[in-house]
Amino acid sequence: MSDPRVRVLLSAVYILCVAASPFRPWVRMAAYTLVLAVAAAVWRVPARTLIVRLVPMAGLVAAALAGMAFGSTPEVAVGLAVRLILMSAAGVVVSLSLPGTLLLSGLRSLGSPATLVTLLLLTSRYLHVIGDEVLRVQRAWRSRAFGRIGLRHALSLGRAVAALTRRSADRSERIAWAMVSRGFSGQIPCRSLPPVRGFDGALGILVAACLVSMALW
């Protein structure tokens, strides 16, 4: 299925089914994992890129597992961690399987607010700007913080983070004024998509029905 709207809707159905399904029996979560792996293979999502994108989820998983220290049972903690990984992976798989503009066009066609779509598009387009600022501040801090890490280095690291925040805000303001001077009105138009093909629609309904059946099983 190549239609972005079908992929987005299936991703939403998958996330809802995983969130609503109990952890037991564990075969259910294994089946959800298999479905996600098949989708990533069919949509040609690189496994390495998928793993790298899921690295930030390690904090939430660790927090879920840390709940055992506050009286949560291991089954509940592990079940929550598994759900978080699967739901996040579903969103990452869909975002990696489609070009950014096509994905946002699908979201807009499904009725997503135009402001939200514009915000997502600008974030994806200018995220590298923040990355460049991070590299520059990191390089400057390392050139000045040599030797063993002590209190003085910790204080300088705090000032570096503050400088990064200030420089990022200044850079974003310059980009905003540059866009306004070129006619940006607050919303970026998305290209219209053709009607959903019958094959894509039928296959999407079949997969969604299978996911719901797994959740009710």
Which residue is listed with tokens 């055992």? 68
Predicted local distance difference test score (pLDDT) of residue 125 = 73
3-class state of residue 27 by DSSP: helix
Q: pLDDT 10s digit of each residue in the chain, 217 long?
A: 578 888 889 999 999 999 888 877 788 888 899 999 998 898 888 888 888 888 878 887 787 778 777 777 888 888 888 888 899 899 889 888 888 778 888 888 888 777 777 777 777 777 777 777 778 877 777 776 665 555 666 666 777 778 778 877 888 888 888 888 888 777 777 777 778 888 888 988 898 998 888 888 7
Residue 100 main-chain phi, psi, to 5 deg: -55, -45
CA distance 160 to 140: 9
Residue 93's nearest CA partner among 28, 15, 158, 171 is 15
End-to-end CA distance of the chain: 26
Burial of 18 (0-12, 13-18, 19+ CB in 10 A): buried
